[in-house]
Amino acid sequence: MSSWSDGYVSNINYTYGYYSELNPNNAVIPFLMAGLALPESILQGQYNACELGFGQGVSLNIHATAGYAKWYATDFNPSHTNFARHLSDAAGNSTMIADQGFNEFCQRDDLPEFDFIALHGIWSWISNENRTIVVDFIRRKLKVGGILYISYNTLPGWSAASPLRHLLAEHHQAMTSSSNEYLQNVQQSLEFVEKIFQQCARLTQNAPNLIPRIQDLKEKNLTYVAHEYLNQNWQPQYFSDIQKWLEPAKLTFACSSCYLDDFPQTVYSQEQRQLIEGFTDPTFTQTVKDFILNTQFRKDYWVKGARQLNHYEQVETWKKLRVLLHTPREKIEMKVSRYLTVGLNANLFNPVLDLLQDNKIHSVKAIIEKLKNHLTETDIFSVLAILQAKMHLVMVQSDEAIEQARPHCEAFNRYILQQSRSAQFPASYLASPITGGACHLGTIENWFLLAHLEGIAKNKHIDFAWDLLKANGLNMVKDGKTLHDDKKGKLRMEECYYEFMENQMPYLKRMGII
């Protein structure tokens, strides 16, 4: 393994995923539900944000393209940096993208102070030396009141699977790991470890999920398996350990990135709630929470200098927000699921849904005014927070931010769609100026949208997508079966097109993609 990688998997590139938690706009509602003040700059626009270890830079570029933050970022892998810069150039988003390790990047003297710093997953896979560097960077560069997003592999959830990771990494390390053999060796290591565990009755009786977990990994993208399991440094941690690490940076835990992870009804049984409510120490409370839930991965916001909002401040901040219900009313179920599934109070939700079902942008201030005779402000906030956590509702950026982002989003999306002509192009997310975040379409849907944007006649959209399908040597699939017969394949594509026009097109219009 090359020395510049510092023990991190560098033989193969990271996956091309998008992570909404890295969008600073998505921190607003969880913070308000926790009763905490947000940086005014995030609420008003024009602020600085930083991502450490951005992978392929898909999330980074979408947020830099569609939002109003100025982003600075680094990833030590030059292939990642090259792709991320390529996306940035296509969008014209002026993001500062470096290919430096944390030690070098964090000592730069040309970086501003930040209102938002993000670390997605990387914390679990770097050395203690690099963790120390990162914490010092946060201490020096995160503004007072600023937000840290950090996600990491968590104990005790990873305890049972740690033997699998250890044996997999040991076997893989003993094999040849040249770049052209790397993924093949990952597959062989999975199969080898499976054989070993089949002979480890005493171990698997105590940890019965080990063999099913291997089966699950064999069905996953091998690139994901390599980056998740095969780094030299791999250290899941208890919440209390993270608190000790971040304490020198003067950070305190704010809330989970998804409100449902803090919503007691979807997290705890009645007996568990009574237990949790008896604790006064917040660190111990979060640690016990992870034991109750057997948490494997946490996605949290921390804040440098938490400030509690009084009721007046909380209401006034909510009133400044704008929201959009993007899911058709009839598709919203009156239940919510996280760790537990609970029914929703129709008397609370229906008045709000009645108001928002036109799928237009509404100010929270106007919602409160229109429903003041039916619901309390607190009830309205809870409904909006749950709808957002269920991914039916989004917070909308200011008109100024939308107009500023729109030409960059159009350029970015045009590039992604043009590149989608090759099914091998790995990035598949589009940038929304409405939310500052991403929208995802499948390959076929991308081709339908490209046909629309290219001005091709509607009655030719299916032919356009069909020609691209054949040019890529692909076939349609229905009910998990590949349709080798072109006639059946064309009929399936027609079904997909009509579904796209009925469902995705209205959604894309609401998101400002078209």
pLDDT at 178: 47
375-399 pLDDT tens trace: 999 999 999 999 999 999 999 999 9
- pTM for this entry: 0.87
Alpha carbons within 13 angstroms on the beta-carbon side of residue 289 total 26
Determine contact, residues 24/67, Cβ cutoff 8 Å. yes
Determine contact, residues 53/119, Cβ cutoff 8 Å. yes
pLDDT at 185: 73
Per-position b or e across 61-98, b if 16+ CB within 10 A of its CB: bbbbbbbbbbbbbbbbbeebbebbbebbebbebebbbb
- Encoded amino acid at 261, one letter: D
Instruction: For 35, list phi and psi in degrees, rounded to 5.
Output: 75, 30
Determine contact, residues 493/444, Cβ cutoff 8 Å. yes
pLDDT at 448: 98
Query: pLDDT: is 162 or 429 the higher one?
Result: 429
Nearest to 371 by CA among 361, 383, 359, 360: 383
pLDDT at 3: 44
Dihedral of CA atoms 29, 33, 37, 40 in degrees, nearest 10, equals: 20
Residue 326 has pLDDT above 80, yes or no: yes
- Encoded amino acid at 119, one letter: L
Residues 79, 16: Cα–Cα separation, whole Å? 13
What domains can be seen in the chain, in order of their start residue? 20-156+235-308 (3.40.50.150), 161-230 (no CATH), 314-395 (3.90.930.60), 405-511 (no CATH)
pLDDT at 233: 67
42-83 pLDDT tens trace: 998 889 999 999 999 999 999 999 998 999 999 989 999 999
Residues 261, 266: Cα–Cα separation, whole Å? 7
Residues 103, 52: Cα–Cα separation, whole Å? 11
431-472 pLDDT tens trace: 999 999 999 999 999 999 999 999 999 999 999 999 999 999
Residues 217, 168: Cα–Cα separation, whole Å? 11
- % pLDDT > 70, the chain: 91
Beta bridge partners of 69: 47
- Encoded amino acid at 444, one letter: I
CA 111, 51, 258, 9 dihedral sign is negative
Helices (H) and strands (E) in the chain, counts: 24, 16
Helix (H, G, I), strand (E, B) or coil at 118: strand
CA angle 17, 22, 27 (to 5 degrees): 140
Residue 246 is encoded by which pair of tokens? 């971040």
272-325 pLDDT tens trace: 999 999 999 999 999 999 999 999 999 999 999 999 999 999 999 999 999 999
- Encoded amino acid at 116, one letter: F
Determine contact, residues 97/84, Cβ cutoff 8 Å. yes
- Encoded amino acid at 58, one letter: V
